[in-house]
Structures are given as structure tokens and as C-alpha cells.
């Protein structure tokens, strides 16, 4: 009997201690989810930042490096990813979409020109997202001559597309004997 009473007291004390430790957590307010505008803008800016850092860091003498002759060069990958931003920006801003998917390397012959184009393309896209605002994200725009799409869906499509090219550029870094910026230890 004494043993059962002792066990009951120990279990009650443990339960009380556990409850007392959890009590302060109950009073902490849970932060609400960020608005969609912030989430899509943060994602857009983050992939733009990653591609810009790669464009700035990669040695200019390796800008025309291709893993195989059939693939795009490092510079062409960047130009393609940045150029695709205008398949978002132009329809969202009511501008006729450009005909060419890939800006030509001859138009951007230097590393500085490519870096400037990458920065501008992602800045223009971010400005379009901000211009639409929270409510404008669900607005439908003519995406192609045959199709409408919501602003947020086009934005996420371009973010994903840019992320795919980011992954390809990581391979270019590795093949060139370099460590990609995001793979380096953080200070």
C-alpha cells in the first residue's frame, strides 16, 4: 500500500512538472503565415539573388564553358533563365511578350553585361509582383495567345524554371573545379 501511494505521488509530481514546463509555451502567440505577396516575392528575390551571385562570381574566362557541345554555355544558361523572367513580367504588366526565348550571347558579350541583364530581369519581375499587390496575384492575364493564367501561377512557374537552371549552373561550377556559393560553409 505504501509503495502504491509513493508511486502515485511520484507520477503526480512528474505530471505537474511536465505541465509547469509547458505552461509558458501556451502563452506564446503563434506567428501567422506570411501574406502570399511576401512569400512569392521572397521566393522570386531569392532565386534571383542566387543566380546573380553565380553570375558575379564565375570567372569571365569560363563564361563560354559548355559541358558538352550540345549544351548552353554558362553565360547562355544565365541569359536563358533571366530572359524567361519576361514571360512573367511582360504579360503581368500588359506588355507584348518577346518573341525570342533566349537572348543572344552577342547582345551580352561581357560578364558585366550578363550580370546587369540578370539583375534587371529579376528586379523587373519583383517590381511587377509588387505592382500587382496581394489582390492582384489571383488576377488572370493572357499568358500566351491561347491561354490565360493567374499572376501567382506564372510567377511560381518562372521561379521553378529559374531554380532548375540554378541546379544546372551548380554542375557547371563543379565541372570547372569551383565550389558553388550556396555550397560553401557559412561563417
Angle, CA of 175, 75 and 125, to the nearest 5°: 120
pLDDT tens by residue, the chain, 187 residues: 565 555 445 455 555 555 555 555 667 889 999 999 999 999 999 999 999 999 999 999 999 999 999 999 999 999 999 999 999 999 999 988 665 668 999 999 999 999 999 999 999 999 999 999 999 999 999 988 889 999 999 999 999 999 999 999 999 999 999 999 999 998 8
**Domain coordinates of the chain in residue numbers?**
37-178
Assign domain 37-178 to a CATH class. mainly alpha
Please give the pLDDT value at position 91. Answer: 93
Q: Which helix (H) or strand (E) holds 117?
A: helix 111-136
Please give the pLDDT value at position 162. Answer: 98
Q: State the Cα–Cα distance between residues 119 and 117, nearest whole angstrom.
A: 5
For residue 35, report the phi and psi dihedrals to the nearest 5 degrees: -65, 150
Amino acid at each position: 500500500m505504501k509503495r502504491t501511494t509513493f508511486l502515485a505521488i511520484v507520477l503526480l509530481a512528474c505530471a505537474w512538472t511536465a505541465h509547469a514546463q509547458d505552461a509558458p509555451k501556451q502563452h506564446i502567440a503563434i506567428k501567422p503565415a506570411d501574406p502570399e505577396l511576401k512569400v512569392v516575392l521572397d521566393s522570386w528575390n531569392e532565386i534571383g539573388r542566387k543566380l546573380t551571385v553565380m553570375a558575379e562570381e564565375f570567372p569571365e574566362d569560363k563564361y563560354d564553358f559548355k559541358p558538352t557541345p550540345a549544351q548552353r554555355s554558362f553565360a547562355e544558361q544565365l541569359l536563358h533563365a533571366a530572359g524567361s523572367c519576361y514571360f512573367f513580367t511582360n504579360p503581368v504588366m500588359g506588355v507584348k511578350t518577346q518573341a525570342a526565348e533566349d537572348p543572344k550571347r552577342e547582345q551580352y558579350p561581357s560578364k558585366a553585361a550578363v550580370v546587369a541583364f540578370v539583375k534587371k530581369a529579376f528586379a523587373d519581375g519583383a517590381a511587377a509582383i509588387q505592382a500587382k499587390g496581394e489582390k492582384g496575384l489571383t488576377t488572370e492575364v493572357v499568358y500566351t495567345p491561347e491561354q490565360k493564367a493567374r499572376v501567382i501561377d506564372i510567377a511560381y512557374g518562372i521561379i521553378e524554371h529559374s531554380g532548375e537552371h540554378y541546379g544546372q549552373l551548380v554542375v557547371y561550377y563543379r565541372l570547372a573545379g569551383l565550389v558553388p556559393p550556396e555550397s560553401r560553409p557559412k561563417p
